[in-house]
Amino acid sequence: MDYQAVLEEVAAHARPYVRQGRVADYIPALERVSADRFGIAVADINGEVYGVGDWETPFSVQSISKTFSLALVMAQSHGGHDSIWRRVGREPSGTPFNSLVQLEAENGIPRNPFINAGALVVTDRLQTLTGDASTSMLHFLREESGNQDLAFDQAVADSEAEHGDRNAALAHFMAAFGNLENPVPSVIEHYFWQCSIEMSCRDLAVAGGFLARHGLRADGSRLLEAREAKRINAVMLTCGTYDAAGEFAYRVGLPAKSGVGGGIIAVIPGRCTLCVWSPGLDARGNSVAGAAALDHFTTLTGWSVF
Ligand code: DON
C-alpha cells in the first residue's frame, strides 16, 4: 500500500469539509485554534509513519485520552477481581458525551467508558492504581509516541476546570452512588489534565499502535492481552463517537475515538493506526473533515473491519 499517495488523495477529498463545522467554544481556551487546519497520519504496525497537511502540529487530545486511560486501567487489572467493568458498562449511550440523564435511572453506573461519566470512573480507577492518573498517562504517551516533549496545556486544563460544572456534577452524582474511590476534586482535576495533553496526528497514530498490534507496545512488550485490545477496539466502534457511533460505523467501519479538539484516532487491527485532525466539529462533537477523511480512506483502501 502506498500510504503517502492514499493520504494525499484523502486530504484532497477532505479539504472542502474543512471549516464546515464549528470549533468547540464551551471551553474558551479551545477556541483559539484556527478552523482551517487539517492533518492526517498513519502509523503501520512496524512503526513506519506517513502524514500530510498539519500532521505534526500539536492539538488538544481531549476525549481521545479516554482510550488511553481505559487501556492503562485494563493493563493493570487484566480483567481480574477489580475489573473496571463492574463500574462502567459497554453499551452505546445514544446521548451526548456530557449527558447526565441516564445516570440516575442506572444507579450511577455510566453506559460506557467513553462518555464523560464513564471516563471519570476510569480516571478514578487509574488514580487509585497509580497515585497520579494524569502524569502516568503523560509518561505512557511520551514513551509510546517516542516524543518526550509531550506536555499538558495548562491554559486548557484551567479553562476546563473553570467551566467544569457539568463534569463536576457527573462526578458528584456518581460519588453519591458509591461509584468513585477518590475525592471528586481530585478525579475531575486529573480528568481535565489528561484531556489537556497536546499531541499531533503523528504522536497519536504512533501512540495508539498497540491497538493495531493486538496489545503489543512499540518496544514489543505486551501492554494488553489480544482479547483486551479487541475489547477496547469493540467499545471504540460502538461508543467512541458518542451519539454518532452508528453513523460513523456505517460510513467508516473502523474503531475510532474522537475528541472536541478535532482529533479522531481510528484503528485497522493488524495493519495500522490513523489519526486525523481538523477542528471544525459537527453537532455531536466529531470533526467534520476528520470523519470525511476516514470515510474516504476506507473507501479507497477497502480496509474497514467489515
Ligand atoms: O469533558 C469535556 O468536556 C472535555 N474535556 C472532553 C470532551 C470531549 O472531547 C468530547 N468529545 N468529543
Q: What are the structural domains, with CATH classification, of the chain?
A: 3-301 (3.40.710.10)
Q: How far is the CA of 5 from the centre of ligand 1 (A)?
A: 32
- Answer whether 7's CB lies under 8 Å from 50's CB: yes
Which of 31, 59, 62 maximizes ligand 1 atoms within 8 Å of its Cβ, making it the mutation to test the pocket? 62
Q: How far is the CA of 62 from the centre of ligand 1 (A)?
A: 5
- Predicted TM-score (pTM) of the model is 0.97
- Answer whether 118's CB lies under 8 Å from 112's CB: yes
The pLDDT tens digits along the chain (306 residues) read 899 999 999 999 999 999 899 999 988 888 999 999 999 999 999 989 999 999 999 999 999 999 999 999 999 986 565 689 999 999 999 888 889 999 999 999 999 999 999 999 999 999 999 999 999 999 999 999 999 999 999 999 999 999 999 999 999 999 999 999 999 999 999 999 999 999 999 999 999 999 999 999 999 999 999 999 999 999 999 999 989 999 999 999 999 999 999 999 999 999 999 999 999 999 999 999 999 999 999 999 999 999
Query: How far apart are alpha carbons 87 and 182 in whole angstroms?
Result: 14
Written as nine digits, the cell of 274 is 490513523
- Ligand 1, CB within 6 Å, residue ranges: 62-63, 97-98, 116, 160, 167, 195, 258-260, 285
Q: How far is the CA of 162 from the centre of ligand 1 (A)?
A: 14
Query: How far apart are alpha carbons 82 and 125 in whole angstroms?
Result: 9
Q: How far is the CA of 119 from the centre of ligand 1 (A)?
A: 10
Q: In angstroms, what CA-CA distances link 3 with 6, 202, 232, 298, 300?
A: 5, 14, 25, 12, 11
| Contact partners, residue 175, CB within 8 Å, separation at least 6 | 184
Amino acid identity of residue 180, one-letter, is: L
